[in-house]
A and B are shown apart, each in its own frame.
Chain A
Amino acid sequence: MKIDRFENSTNDRILENKIALNITINGRLYSLIIPPTYRLVDLLRKDLELTGTKISCEIGRCGSCSVLMNGNVVNSCLVMAYQANGMVIETIEQVSQENLHPIQQAFLEEGALQCGYCTPGMVIALKSLLDKNNQPTEEEVLDYLCGNLCRCTGYNGILRAVQRYKNESSAIFDNKTLE
């Protein structure tokens, strides 16, 4: 695994007590020296320029900064960077590194996005659900997504995308059993 060294250039003056951490982000191990005040979202957006993770409310209410930490969805605005030390972080950039995830394809087909600012968080939240259970009930979908706000779509397109995903993944499943 490649190790990137990254020295933070800013904050040198007022932040003497920097901290070091090792963190795996999208499959790469980073050794970083960062201000102790940094949240995970700051690390991602400012230092690594992984701007697919968005910031909006910064109090854990909107879900636009959702990332996976050791496979679980977290609001990266509520996780201090040092808390992610030793953890495995997966952001939206990783989800579509090679091909679109089927849920991303379903988002495109069903118009589950408009301005797109909430979309990475939505995809991350859904991916974590679908990884555990690719035929979730409507209740499970609503529970999983009620922490991700979208102001554009009215959520209807997102629900259609999940339905499409479910239909298609069950079709794949059926084909496999036929074989």
Chain B
Amino acid sequence: MKLIRDNFQEKWKIRPDGYDKVTGSLKYLTDYSFPGMLYGKVLRSSYPHAKILSISTSKAEQLEGVFAVVTHKDVVGMNRFGLIFPDQPVLCEDVVRYVGDAVAAVAAESEEIADKAIELIEVEYEILEVIDDPETALIDSAVKLHPGGNILHRAGYKSSDDVMSAIDECPFIVEETYETPRQMHAYMETEGGVVVPEADGKITVYAATQHGFKDRMQLARILAMPESDIRVISSPIGGSFGGKDELNIQPYAALLAIKSNRPVKLHNKRIESVKAGIKRHPMKIKMITGAKENGLLVGHFVRITADTGAYATLGPAVLDFAVEHSTGPYRIQNVDIEGISVFTNNGVSGEFRGFGGNQVTFALESQIDRLAEILNIDPLKLREMNIREADDLGPLGQRIVANDGAKNVLEMIKSSPILTTPLKPKDKWRLRGKGAAITMHGGGLGFGRPDPSGARLSLTEEGKIEIAFGFEEFGQGLLATVEILLTDMLGCAKEDVKIVIGDTGIVPASGSSTASRSTNMIWQGINKLKGPWKNKLLNAASRISGVAVETLTLGENGVWEKGEKDKSVITYKELANRLKTELPVCSTQFHFPTTPDAVIGGHYLHTYAAVAVEVEVNQLTGQIKVTKLDHAVAAGPVVNPLGYLGQIEGGAIMGLGFTLFEDSLMENARYHTENFDSYIIPTIRDIPLSTNVYVDESLIENDVFGPRGVGEIGTVAVAPAITAAIHDACGLWVKKLPVSSEEILNALQTTSFSFYKQGVSE
């Protein structure tokens, strides 16, 4: 079904935070000002790798208007942070390992004074050898960046012992090494916020994060404060895409606020955001894939090298995810996958929408297309021949929730007009091509990882039904999803609802707003609460009104008699007035569903997507223009059509950027691309004007897990679809992203391919 308004009618709902966003009245956390507020700045490293010999802050401290200067000496707790391994210094004490490393921070009464104070801090360095490439880092004689060496993490999966000999026996083998870029999240709102010291010695942190409770835990360790003394307000956020899951400005603003006893605002400039912010892991992926004459995929050998940069953050989990998703939605008998995540002095790589899936999906789907060509089989037909069955085991041999999504998206995309309409050449200079790709994507953090969630429903004194989650709204449309699910499941009106999120002071812990988990966790949470909630409310209404409880039901504005449209028994407001001190509250704590098999990181719930694109290759400039893009997505029922559509469309264009333009270029571990003048994200001029999203809402009978999230899947399979279309247009097999115009022009020259495929009619 096409995801358009006509097909969803009354489910097509305006988002509750929309009005405040279009009028500019919404306050983001970087928009706040407080009386007596100071401006913070962080001094970042001058070198990608150096020993710190001394730090002198006395000149900065003497500057009028400066209220606090902090270095590692001011970190009274643990001078480290990091979501998995706390290995990243808050303020470096002896060594800097990348250009984003923080050495000192200042708070002053204006940004100008703070800038001046930063210039006055004197740091003596002894420059060390730079490792700007994972392969160099792996050489035995390489400088060790961390005490444990240069390997952050290894991960692998083997289905049988001698995969290479199974491949060797295949008549059709494709071997290639693929490279993917250091993509930047490029959210419009750079990292920032304000930390406010409270009168009672506690602090309030107004700062963007995808997981307020995890920030609180990490800040408590750094500041040596009890968690209960720290309140993190973490919503709304001007975009994240995974980039604000790790701590960014919070520790610096907090240290400065505590030292100066004044509110401190810290809002990264774009250049600072580029240097210090995490990026998508650049990966080098070698794949050898073998197929029989009949098209059956028999063996798949994969070696992944990920550049994780200077610190761990979520590097291990990203690698695990890449390993798991290296075989995609295919049945392949012999699989041998190994990955390694390596420390370098480059920018820190971490979590990014797709979580390692994008890189390996580009490689895998390219392999399938190449095999299809040498087998002389239609690429979609080859996929169909090898596609997983609904109840097949997951890619790591783990049990997963049965689902026909893989077949369904393939079936849907086959009928996309992009693939069914014959191409005509645009003009003499522009070649056209079309291509498609598919993907399977796990939701949640995976087996063996703490992935708890929680929710709370309560009746407020004002008679509102308050739902509270620990999630954050960073644009994905979570508030709308909550509102829709709650009104649907409880039968109340949206006016009856009050949604509370993103504030550790008042919400239950729901885990991180990440890994496409929030929609599912919201559905699970309300599902678990609705029974006890109805009981409490109906019993109370019955007690007060004397009407038998069996005849009552919850509805808009209050409790009604069943089947009697005009018989209101009691409004929520009256109910709240009558109950006063005994306002009903229900809460729940639960865990993201995981596979029963002990496969660490293995996923249980999956979504599926297929992409078809049409491209034009300009033979004069080597430029690629994506002219059409269709997406087919299977993620269970569509809860919030407008949000779903936005996530898939937005994800697709982010995937287009990953394929065609985006790379945080580094040389000697320093960034060349420091802002949007050189780091190019798609503008409205770069998008396909013809685009459609088709959805498959079906779930296997008796599925108890409900709607899956779609936050990531729209980005994942776009790159291989585009590169397949480029191949179709001009014969070039792209193996390195982003695709460069030079490469296209070289290919056109050397293969004299330009007129081979389409001929040209003037």
Is A56 in contact with B18, judged by CB distance below 8 angstroms? no
Name which of B112, B187, B684 has the most chain A CB atoms within 10 A of its CB. Answer: B684
Give A75-115 as 1s and 0s: 1 = Cβ < 8 Å from B's Cβ atoms.
00000000000000001110110001000100111010111
Is A152 in contact with B646, judged by CB distance below 8 angstroms? yes
Give every chain A residue within 8 A of B684 (Cβ-Cβ): 141-142, 145-146, 148, 150, 155, 158-159
CB distance from B8 to the nearest CB of A (A): 12
The A interface, classified by DSSP as helix, strand, loop or mixed, is loop
B side interface size, CB within 8 A: 64
**Residues of chain B in range 614-663 having any CB-CB distance to chain A below 8 Å:** 642-643, 645-647, 649-654
For A64, the closest partner residue in chain B by CB is B188
Surface stretch bound by B, among A17-25, A117-125, A166-174: A117-125
* A116 at interface by CB-CB < 8 Å: yes
Give every chain A residue within 8 A of B476 (Cβ-Cβ): 114
* B239 at interface by CB-CB < 8 Å: yes
CB distance from A91 to the nearest CB of B (A): 7
In the bound complex, CA of A49 to CA of B30 (Å):
12
- Supposing A96-B22, A111-B642, A152-B650 touch, asked if A59 and B691 sit within 8 A by C-beta, the answer is no
Of the candidates B22, B475, B647, B691, the one whose C-beta lies within 8 Å of that of A108 is B22
Give every chain B residue within 8 A of A109 (Cβ-Cβ): 14
Give A29-46 as 1s and 0s: 1 = Cβ < 8 Å from B's Cβ atoms.
000000101000000011
For A38, the closest partner residue in chain B by CB is B112
Of the candidates A46, A104, A146, the one whose C-beta lies within 8 Å of that of B23 is A104
In the bound complex, CA of A158 to CA of B691 (Å):
13
Of the candidates B65, B241, B645, B652, the one whose C-beta lies within 8 Å of that of A13 is B65
For A150, the closest partner residue in chain B by CB is B188
Is B691 in contact with A149, judged by CB distance below 8 angstroms? no
- Supposing A59-B677, A120-B24, A142-B684 touch, asked if A154 and B237 sit within 8 A by C-beta, the answer is no
Name which of B22, B28, B241, B475 has the most chain A CB atoms within 10 A of its CB. Answer: B22
Is A138 in contact with B14, judged by CB distance below 8 angstroms? no
Give every chain B residue within 8 A of A13 (Cβ-Cβ): 64-65, 109, 113
Is A155 in contact with B653, judged by CB distance below 8 angstroms? yes
Give every chain A residue within 8 A of B236 (Cβ-Cβ): 115-116
Is A57 in contact with B650, judged by CB distance below 8 angstroms? no
* A11 at interface by CB-CB < 8 Å: yes
A side interface size, CB within 8 A: 60
* B580 at interface by CB-CB < 8 Å: no
CB distance from A46 to the nearest CB of B (A): 8
For A141, the closest partner residue in chain B by CB is B684
* B116 at interface by CB-CB < 8 Å: yes
Is B22 in contact with A151, judged by CB distance below 8 angstroms? no
Give B679-696 as 1s and 0s: 1 = Cβ < 8 Å from A's Cβ atoms.
001111101010100000
Is B646 in contact with A157, judged by CB distance below 8 angstroms? yes
CB distance from A119 to the nearest CB of B (A): 5
In the bound complex, CA of A67 to CA of B20 (Å):
18
Is B23 in contact with A56, judged by CB distance below 8 angstroms? no
CB distance from A40 to the nearest CB of B (A): 15
Give every chain B residue within 8 A of A37 (Cβ-Cβ): 112
CB distance from B34 to the nearest CB of A (A): 11
Give every chain B residue within 8 A of A113 (Cβ-Cβ): 15, 18, 21-22
Give every chain B residue within 8 A of A159 (Cβ-Cβ): 684, 689
In the bound complex, CA of A54 to CA of B682 (Å):
20
Is A151 in contact with B241, judged by CB distance below 8 angstroms? yes
Of the candidates B19, B186, B643, the one whose C-beta lies within 8 Å of that of A151 is B186
Give every chain B residue within 8 A of A54 (Cβ-Cβ): 188-189, 238
Give every chain A residue within 8 A of B189 (Cβ-Cβ): 54, 56, 115, 117
CB distance from A67 to the nearest CB of B (A): 11
Of the candidates B22, B643, B653, B685, the one whose C-beta lies within 8 Å of that of A119 is B22
Of the candidates A59, A95, A114, the one whose C-beta lies within 8 Å of that of B650 is A114
**Residues of chain A in range 49-83 having any CB-CB distance to chain B below 8 Å:** 49, 51-59, 61-62, 64
In the bound complex, CA of A104 to CA of B22 (Å):
6
For B475, the closest partner residue in chain A by CB is A115
* B270 at interface by CB-CB < 8 Å: yes
Give every chain A residue within 8 A of B19 (Cβ-Cβ): 100, 108
Is A56 in contact with B270, judged by CB distance below 8 angstroms? yes
Is A57 in contact with B21, judged by CB distance below 8 angstroms? no
Is A154 in contact with B239, judged by CB distance below 8 angstroms? no
CB distance from B440 to the nearest CB of A (A): 22
**Residues of chain B in range 186-207 having any CB-CB distance to chain A below 8 Å:** 186-190
Give every chain B residue within 8 A of A64 (Cβ-Cβ): 188
**Residues of chain B in range 60-95 having any CB-CB distance to chain A below 8 Å:** 64-65
Is A156 in contact with B14, judged by CB distance below 8 angstroms? no
**Residues of chain B in range 426-472 having any CB-CB distance to chain A below 8 Å:** none
- Supposing A56-B188, A59-B675 touch, asked if A116 and B654 sit within 8 A by C-beta, the answer is no
In the bound complex, CA of A80 to CA of B329 (Å):
55
**Residues of chain B in range 101-128 having any CB-CB distance to chain A below 8 Å:** 109-110, 112-113, 116
Of the candidates B14, B188, B650, the one whose C-beta lies within 8 Å of that of A154 is B650
- Supposing A150-B188, A155-B687 touch, asked if A11 and B110 sit within 8 A by C-beta, the answer is yes
Give every chain A residue within 8 A of B22 (Cβ-Cβ): 96, 100, 104, 107-108, 113, 116, 119-120, 123
Give every chain B residue within 8 A of A137 (Cβ-Cβ): none
CB distance from B474 to the nearest CB of A (A): 6
Is B270 in contact with A115, judged by CB distance below 8 angstroms? no
Of the candidates B18, B65, B269, the one whose C-beta lies within 8 Å of that of A14 is B65
Name which of B23, B189, B237 has the most chain A CB atoms within 10 A of its CB. Answer: B23
* B577 at interface by CB-CB < 8 Å: no
Is B689 in contact with A138, judged by CB distance below 8 angstroms? yes
In the bound complex, CA of A93 to CA of B20 (Å):
11
- Supposing A108-B19, A156-B649 touch, asked if A61 and B677 sit within 8 A by C-beta, the answer is yes
Is A53 in contact with B675, judged by CB distance below 8 angstroms? no
In the bound complex, CA of A150 to CA of B649 (Å):
12
Of the candidates A118, A142, A147, A153, the one whose C-beta lies within 8 Å of that of B646 is A153
In the bound complex, CA of A109 to CA of B4 (Å):
12
Is B687 in contact with A56, judged by CB distance below 8 angstroms? no
CB distance from B207 to the nearest CB of A (A): 15
* A10 at interface by CB-CB < 8 Å: yes
In the bound complex, CA of A59 to CA of B270 (Å):
9
Is A111 in contact with B654, judged by CB distance below 8 angstroms? no
- Supposing A13-B65, A151-B239 touch, asked if A52 and B24 sit within 8 A by C-beta, the answer is yes
A-B contact pairs, 13 of them (CB 8 A): A11-B113, A14-B112, A14-B113, A51-B31, A54-B238, A56-B190, A91-B24, A100-B22, A114-B239, A117-B28, A117-B475, A146-B684, A154-B653
Closest 10 pairs (CB-CB, A-B):
A52-B24, A115-B475, A116-B21, A117-B238, A154-B653, A92-B24, A114-B475, A51-B31, A61-B676, A111-B642
- Interface of A with B (CB < 8 Å)? 10-11, 13-15, 35, 37, 45-46, 49, 51-59, 61-62, 64, 91-93, 95-96, 100, 104, 107-109, 111, 113-120, 123, 138, 141-142, 145-159
Known: A53-B24, A157-B645. 10 other contacts (CB 8 A): A14-B64, A14-B113, A37-B112, A45-B31, A64-B188, A96-B24, A115-B240, A120-B24, A151-B654, A154-B646
